[in-house]
């Protein structure tokens, strides 16, 4: 079984417990790297062609209106992977449109898809539901959700979940 971690994560200003803080390393990225390290598998970070604004307010404004978002290295192939972890921050109760675009660009029949997410309080929101309609033909395993500010301290939960889903 070959595994891959695909994720999107943002740096810059973010709302943390209702306060605006500057995030040097995205919360989802912290978890994506933990999974990659645990499985010693490949990892692919979705980088927007047009970077998201540093400003939290401007980012929220763009995300609210965004219908789709192109990413760099869009010729990346998932063909050789059996298991694909999909990591994202909860944006408006689901995943950012850059993740939606990646899901749309690939064929999922026969793959196992495992979502993980960081959030302010809304867990995976409707992300799992939307995922279900986007990766037709895939087996979807139970997702992992953690509050962003716990990303550095969730190792035990993360390990337990990985054992459950793999
Ligand atoms: C545009 C935008 C929309 C968001 N919407 C939600 C939301 O609906 N529910 C929630 O719990 N958190 C929401 N958040 C907070 C993020 O999910 C949270 O800060 C996450 O951990 C950020 O991950 P990252 O550092 O990997 O980008 C939103 C953040 C942004 C920037």
Domains located in the chain, CATH noted: 3-165 (3.40.50.360)
**What pLDDT is stored for residue 79 in this prediction?**
97
Atom index in ligand 1 nearest the CA of residue 121 equals: 11
Residues 6+ apart with CB under 8 A from 11: 23, 24, 25, 26
Give the closest residue (by CA) to ligand 1 atom 30: 91
Backbone angles phi, psi at 13, to 5 degrees: -70, 140
| Per-residue tens of pLDDT for the chain, all 166 residues | 999 999 999 999 999 988 999 999 999 999 999 999 999 999 999 999 999 999 999 999 999 999 999 999 999 999 999 999 999 999 999 999 999 999 999 999 999 999 999 999 999 999 999 999 999 999 999 999 999 999 999 999 999 999 999 9
What pLDDT score was predicted for residue 57? 97
Distance from Cα 122 to the centre of ligand 1, integer Å: 9
**3-class secondary structure per residue, 88-101:** EECECCECCHHHHH
Q: Which residues line ligand 1 (CB under 6 A)?
A: 9-10, 14, 23, 26-29, 59-60, 63, 89-93, 118-122, 148
User: Is the separation of the CB atoms in 64 and 92 below 8 Å?
Assistant: yes
- Radius of gyration of the chain, Cα coordinates, nearest whole angstrom: 15
């Amino acid at each position: 079984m070959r595994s891959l971690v695909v994720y999107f994560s943002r740096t810059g200003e973010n709302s943390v417990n209702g306060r605006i803080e500057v995030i040097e390393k995205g919360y989802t990225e912290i978890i994506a790297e933990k999974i990659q390290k645990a499985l010693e598998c490949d990892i692919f970070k979705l980088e927007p062609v047009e970077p998201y604004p540093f400003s939290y307010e401007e980012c929220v404004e763009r995300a609210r209106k965004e219908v789709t978002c192109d990413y760099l290295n869009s010729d990346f192939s998932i063909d050789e992977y059996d298991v694909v972890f999909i990591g994202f921050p909860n944006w408006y109760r689901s995943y950012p449109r850059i993740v939606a675009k990646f899901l749309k660009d690939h064929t999922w029949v026969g793959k196992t898809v495992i979502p993980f997410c960081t959030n302010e309080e809304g867990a995976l929101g409707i992300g799992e539901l939307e995922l279900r309609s986007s990766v037709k033909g895939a087996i979807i395993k139970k997702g992992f959700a953690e509050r962003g500010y716990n990303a550095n301290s969730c190792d035990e939960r993360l390990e337990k979940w990985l054992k459950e889903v793999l």
